[in-house]
């Protein structure tokens, strides 16, 4: 049954809320190991990633590993007209909470799309062929439309859809690689 994006998003979020913390932590650890072994990760000097919220995959270990490997880390900042940019995250970065309760950088060094090697793209759900259902603002699809670098997403089993159950639009951008934590991990 085809759901609206809003319906599909709500259904997946409800299932994510039910995931036990220990199970989520185990799945996240599996995803970190998978990510850090990819060619995309090894080849990237500049990595863009979000500052995660509770329902999302925790990105703090990704940020710490990137810094340990002397990679530049960039995080998103929203702009007017549903646009965004990526700003370097370092020890001097000040973060503030937005109206949407997201942490974003104040000031800082902005990196252009062609300076970023890898974007770890967040989402609510993913199809096996690379489509993602985001959180509803369209910021990432707009950004990715003119981004030529690597993209990867991390998914809990609850986020993986074997069948598309929401409408795919022409502006929906595929992710190059989606890593899924398996039940056995």
Give pLDDT tens digits for 33-70: 999 999 999 999 999 999 998 889 999 999 999 999 99
Neighbours of 111 (CB within 10 A): 17
What's residue 162's pLDDT? 64
Instruction: Print the domain residue range for 99.
Output: 5-180
Q: Is residue 21 part of a domain?
A: yes
Q: Is residue 155 part of a domain?
A: yes
Q: What is the total count of domains within the chain?
A: 1
Percentage of the chain beyond pLDDT 90 is 70
Q: Is residue 136 part of a domain?
A: yes
Q: Is residue 124 part of a domain?
A: yes
CATH number of the CATH domain containing 69: 3.40.50.10420
Q: At what angle do helices 21-36 and 60-68 cross, to 10 degrees?
A: 30
pLDDT category of residue 180 using cuts at 50, 70 and 90: very high
**Mean of all residue pLDDT scores within the chain:** 91
Q: Is residue 35 part of a domain?
A: yes
Q: Is residue 185 part of a domain?
A: no
Residues comprising the binding site? 5-9, 51, 56, 132-140
Residues comprising the binding site for substrate? 51, 56
Residues comprising the binding site for ATP? 5-9, 132-140
Task: Give bridge partners of residue 84 from the DSSP assignment.
Answer: 78
Q: Is residue 22 part of a domain?
A: yes
pLDDT category of residue 175 using cuts at 50, 70 and 90: very high
Q: Is residue 163 part of a domain?
A: yes
Q: What is the DSSP string of 138-163?
A: -HHHHHHTT--SEEEEEE-GGGEESS
């Amino acid at each position: 049954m085809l759901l609206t994006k809003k319906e599909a998003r709500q259904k997946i979020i409800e299932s994510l809320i039910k995931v036990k913390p220990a199970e989520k932590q185990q799945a996240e650890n599996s995803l970190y190991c998978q990510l850090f072994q990819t060619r995309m990760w090894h080849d990237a000097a500049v990595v863009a990633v979000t500052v995660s919220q509770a329902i999302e995959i925790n990105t703090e270990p990704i940020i710490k590993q990137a810094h340990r490997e002397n990679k530049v880390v960039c995080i998103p900042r929203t702009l007017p007209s549903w646009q965004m940019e990526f700003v370097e995250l370092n020890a001097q970065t000040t973060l503030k909470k937005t109206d949407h309760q997201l942490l974003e950088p104040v000031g800082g060094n902005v990196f252009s799309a062609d300076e970023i090697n890898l974007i770890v793209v967040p989402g609510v759900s993913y199809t096996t062929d690379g489509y993602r259902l985001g959180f509803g603002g369209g910021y990432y699809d707009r950004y990715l439309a003119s981004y030529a670098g690597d993209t990867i997403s991390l998914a809990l089993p609850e986020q993986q859809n074997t069948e598309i159950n929401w409408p795919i639009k022409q502006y929906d951008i595929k992710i190059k690689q989606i890593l899924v934590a398996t039940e056995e991990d």
